[in-house]
Amino acid sequence: MQCAILCAGFATRLYPLTETIPKHLLPVAGRPVLDYVVERLSAVGIERGVLVSNRTFIDQFHRWAANQPLAANLQILDDGATSNENRLGSIGDLQFALTQGDMQEDFLVVNGDNLFTFALDGVLETFRRRGNTIGLYDVGSEAETAKMGVADCDPAGRVVGFREKPPVPQTTVASIGIYVYRAEVRSLVERYLAEGNSADKTGSFVEWLHQQVPVFGHRIRADEGLWFDIGSHEQYDEANRALERWRQQQEHSATQEQMS
């Protein structure tokens, strides 16, 4: 299985922080956001794939990859965008990754500004058993959920409805930008765009995809780990505080194990 890590956004809501550095490389608890992403991918054996950047920040991603051993097998691609006005959008970038990276097998898609500490084993197990799978998580806030996608799943876990950015969400369990797809979804990405659908949001693709082929939701529990969308200054500050506490807990646990 390969991965497509989408990192071509300009994160204007985080200006001035992101005027000279991509959001995906902002330090959280002393480490770039992407370090956490590639660690979680590597832990489940996924180290090959593509990272898509815009042209403005491509050199910074190359420097990051050169100093991150877990990124050694990632192909860093420049999608040509230089501003919000000429960007390809998330699904445009996904198609770019699939074609330019020649990704022919099953693939995992992750939005590169996702910051999470939970393992991906559960999502992948659901994928192996059932097929196309999206990661779901209780983000704990209706206001934040309204900025995301919400899946309606039947008792068997199959997605029977999906709404991107619902104005009045009925739940705080949201789609969090982690998707695992069968290889045949590659052609559906091409068809989705050819039909004139929005290239901007990965959730919009799920909204369309579940009507074409079965898609299942896998809910990740809060006790499995943390998740943050680094989308605002407040969320960035909160993530720094939470990840610093998490890092200290990890170090304490490691010390206790060494002493036992």
Average pLDDT estimate for 99-125: 94
Q: Give residue 230's pLDDT.
A: 85
Q: Average pLDDT over the chain, rounded to whole?
A: 92
Tokens of 61: 């991603």
Average pLDDT estimate for 195-222: 94
Inform me whether the pLDDT recorded for 124 exceeds 90.
yes
Write out pLDDT tens, residues 128-161: 999 999 999 998 888 888 888 999 999 999 999 9
Q: Give residue 190's pLDDT.
A: 96
CB atoms within 10 A of CB 228: 22
Residue burial 28-60, b: 16+ Cβ < 10 Å; e: rest:
bbeebbbbbbbebbeeeebbbbbbbbbebbbeb
Would you say 216 and 158 are in contact if contact means Cβ atoms under 8 Å apart? yes
Q: What is the pTM of this model?
A: 0.93
User: ∠ CA(16), CA(20), CA(22), 5° rounding?
Assistant: 95
Q: Give residue 100's pLDDT.
A: 94
Write out pLDDT tens, residues 172-182: 999 999 999 99
Distances (CA, A) of 132 to 4, 110, 184: 15, 14, 10
Q: Give residue 224's pLDDT.
A: 94
Inform me whether the pLDDT recorded for 248 exceeds 90.
no
Strands 114-116 and 227-229: antiparallel
Could you give the CA distance from residue 191 to residue 202 in angstroms, rounded to a whole number? 15
Inform me whether the pLDDT recorded for 185 exceeds 80.
yes
Output 78-81 pairs: Cβ under 8 A, ≥24 positions apart.
78/53, 78/54, 79/8, 79/52, 79/53, 79/54, 79/55, 80/54, 80/55, 81/8, 81/54, 81/55, 81/56
Inform me whether the pLDDT recorded for 246 exceeds 80.
yes
Would you say 97 and 107 are in contact if contact means Cβ atoms under 8 Å apart? no
Q: Give residue 259's pLDDT.
A: 67
The proportion of the chain whose per-residue pLDDT surpasses 90, expressed as a percent, equals 75
Inform me whether the pLDDT recorded for 109 exceeds 90.
yes
Could you give the CA distance from residue 126 to residue 217 in angstroms, rounded to a whole number? 8
Could you give the CA distance from residue 223 to residue 42 in angstroms, rounded to a whole number? 21
Q: Give residue 254's pLDDT.
A: 65
Binned at pLDDT 50, 70 and 90, residue 229 comes out as confident
Average pLDDT estimate for 184-209: 94
For 88-151, give the DSSP string.
--HHHHHHHHHHHTT--S-EEEEETTEEE-S-SHHHHHHHHHHSSEEEEEE-S-HHHHTTSEEE
Q: Give residue 106's pLDDT.
A: 97
Binned at pLDDT 50, 70 and 90, residue 212 comes out as very high
Average pLDDT estimate for 198-217: 94
